[in-house]
Structure 1
Amino acid sequence: MTSYLTPRSLGILHLERGLPPGAIPPAPASGSMLNPATFDFQTISETVAGAWVENVVRGDAALEPAFIAAAQRLVERGAVAISSTCGFSVRHQAAVAASVKVPVAMSSLLLLPTLLRQLPERAKIAVLTYDSTCCSEDLLGIDDRAERARVVIGGIEGGKFWHDELKRPAPPLDVAAIEADVAACIARLRSAHPEIAIILFECAAFPIVAPAIRQITKLPVYSITDLCRLTMASTS
């Protein structure tokens, strides 16, 4: 008797993009969470109703039921793990994890405590974020003062990508602009903190420039796509 197995799928919680009904979304960039070629497993996605970049980054608690509902729809469709296209959705990590019976990894920020332990005590980690003014202490998951002192945060707020993501509809990702903004931010951080030994991308769009940033900095670069691969490797 032949058996047919349903492909294991990563469920991705996607933010609103403001496209008109029936409009064809732009092709996702290479390395994007939504590009089928990024992973060696299948992905499926659900849009979180009312979750725009602006209110997710700012931290709108009223969005939590919508995140939960979208995650539950993904599990009903066969997702064996859940992630998201915005690192700031880590605010809803606990609620989403409590609402489904599959692993949940909403943000690369979940990696931060582990990455600190990969390094000697004097080394630092740079967290690169879409907006450093909204990357508050509670999102980092670090209570120890000594460990917190080893984390430096830099954002690309005010840049082209930052402005593009606030538009409705949001335009296709400008990879060159993202790379330029991220590289410039890292250069500023390394000038002030030469002890930086690892870079962690908070923003789920940044993995599209991870190869370039690794070449420029010669440092390890971690992102949400790395956490997704680890999470999916743990599932059966």
Structure 2
Amino acid sequence: MQPIIKVEKASDRPRRRRPVHGARIGIIVLDTGFQRLPGDVANALTWRFPVQYHVVTGVRPQDVIEGAPEKILPAFYDAIDRLTELGVDGIATSCGFLAMVHPQLRAYSGLPIASSSLMQIPLVLQTLPADKTVGVIVSDRKAITDNHFINVGAPVGLPLGELAFDGPIRANMRNNASQVSYAAQERDALETVERMLAETPSIGALVSECANLPPYSQAIERTLGVPVYDVVSLVEWLHAGLMPRGFHPETC
């Protein structure tokens, strides 16, 4: 006779205190002033589900990209604590360069944490034909290191495409432009990817490091014909596991 295995039901588990309900994902946002268009990680209209934001006041993009990790970690630990106390079930961040501190954030967080869109690289690579590779769109080529990839389990040496320093995307971010042109930034993103594909024809898919690029992912795929993965696809993947779709026999 087979032993009876008791399966824990959700109703049997201790309930967490939740001051806020309905937002399963918390997103840690850097302290910026530039306009975030729909599709950007920090525009609430981007999401097909509710999210809970927390701004790490005083931590700017340059502090993450160019600064020392030990200086920014306390602010992120505090953000994790605050989002956890609010009742979210998973946490994401809003800058791909936070891959540099992913091991520390993962060790600290008691919840699943998606720190960087670069986390998708190993999975995307496995979807491609053997003669294809992943190209990575970055906002600052000089600042990205092998450790950014190693820390999230991604291989090093992948082809990189850098947004132009004086192009509208980086200039608007750097200058905290309160109003930006979607068309100009779309051209900037497309030109970056066109250069990448010309330099490395073996690129079979793209991963955007920069969390401000998702507004242009659809245009890139439609114009240049390569799959594009970004912080939005990462957060949607995380949410899909935390809140799986329901399928019932009567609807099939």
Cα 1:170–1:90, aligned 2, differ >3 Å: closer, same or farther? Answer: farther
Give the drift of 1:208.
Answer: 0.7
Give the match for residue 17 of structure 1.
Answer: 32
The one of 168, 177, 180 equivalent to 2:184 is: 177
Question: Aligned partner of 1:6: which letter?
Answer: H
Cα 1:111–1:211, aligned 2, differ >3 Å: closer, same or farther? Answer: same
Q: Is the 8 A contact 1:113 1:141 kept in 2?
A: no
Partners of 1:107 and 1:233 in 2: how far apart?
A: 17
Give the match for residue 120 of structure 1.
Answer: 129
Give the match for residue 189 of structure 1.
Answer: 196
In structure 2, the residue corresponding to 1:14 is in which secondary structure? strand
Q: How many residues align?
A: 223
Q: Is the 8 A contact 2:163 2:188 kept in 1?
A: yes
Q: Is the 8 A contact 1:67 1:92 kept in 2?
A: no
Partners of 1:174 and 1:76 in 2: how far apart?
A: 37
Give the match for residue 142 of structure 2.
Answer: 133
Partners of 2:152 and 2:61 in 1: how far apart?
A: 27
Question: Aligned partner of 2:112: which letter?
Answer: P
Partners of 1:193 and 1:108 in 2: how far apart?
A: 21
The one of 220, 223, 229 equivalent to 1:216 is: 223
Give the match for residue 162 of structure 1.
Answer: 170
Partners of 1:128 and 1:173 in 2: how far apart?
A: 20
Q: Is the 8 A contact 2:220 2:228 kept in 1?
A: yes
Partners of 1:110 and 1:74 in 2: how far apart?
A: 21
Partners of 2:111 and 2:169 in 1: how far apart?
A: 33
Q: Is the 8 A contact 2:186 2:219 kept in 1?
A: yes
Question: Aligned partner of 1:91: which letter?
Answer: M
Tell me the C-alpha RMSD between the 2 structures.
2.4
Identity of matched residues, %? 26
Give the match for residue 37 of structure 1.
Answer: 45
**Is 169-178 or 43-52 further displaced after alignment?**
169-178
Cα 1:73–1:86, aligned 2, differ >3 Å: closer, same or farther? Answer: same
Give the drift of 1:222.
Answer: 0.5
Cα 1:215–1:129, aligned 2, differ >3 Å: closer, same or farther? Answer: same
Q: Is the 8 A contact 1:56 1:89 kept in 2?
A: yes
Q: Is the 8 A contact 2:131 2:202 kept in 1?
A: yes
Give the match for residue 51 of structure 1.
Answer: 59
**Is 192-201 or 88-97 further displaced after alignment?**
88-97
Moved beyond 3 Å, runs of 4+: 142-145
Partners of 1:55 and 1:42 in 2: how far apart?
A: 28
Partners of 1:34 and 1:143 in 2: how far apart?
A: 22
> Is residue 8 from structure 1 mapped to residue 23 from structure 2 by the alignment?
yes
Cα 1:114–1:142, aligned 2, differ >3 Å: closer, same or farther? Answer: farther
Cα 1:226–1:128, aligned 2, differ >3 Å: closer, same or farther? Answer: same
Unaligned residue ranges in structure 1 (runs of 5+): 19-24
Task: Give me the TM-score of the superposition, normalised by structure 1.
Answer: 0.85
Q: Is the 8 A contact 1:142 1:148 kept in 2?
A: no
Give the match for residue 22 of structure 1.
Answer: none
Cα 1:131–1:11, aligned 2, differ >3 Å: closer, same or farther? Answer: same
Unaligned residue ranges in structure 2 (runs of 5+): 1-19, 244-252
Q: Is the 8 A contact 2:137 2:162 kept in 1?
A: yes
Task: Give me the TM-score of the superposition, normalised by structure 2.
Answer: 0.80
**Is 173-182 or 116-125 further displaced after alignment?**
173-182
Give the match for residue 227 of structure 1.
Answer: 234
Give the match for residue 21 of structure 1.
Answer: none
Partners of 1:6 and 1:142 in 2: how far apart?
A: 32
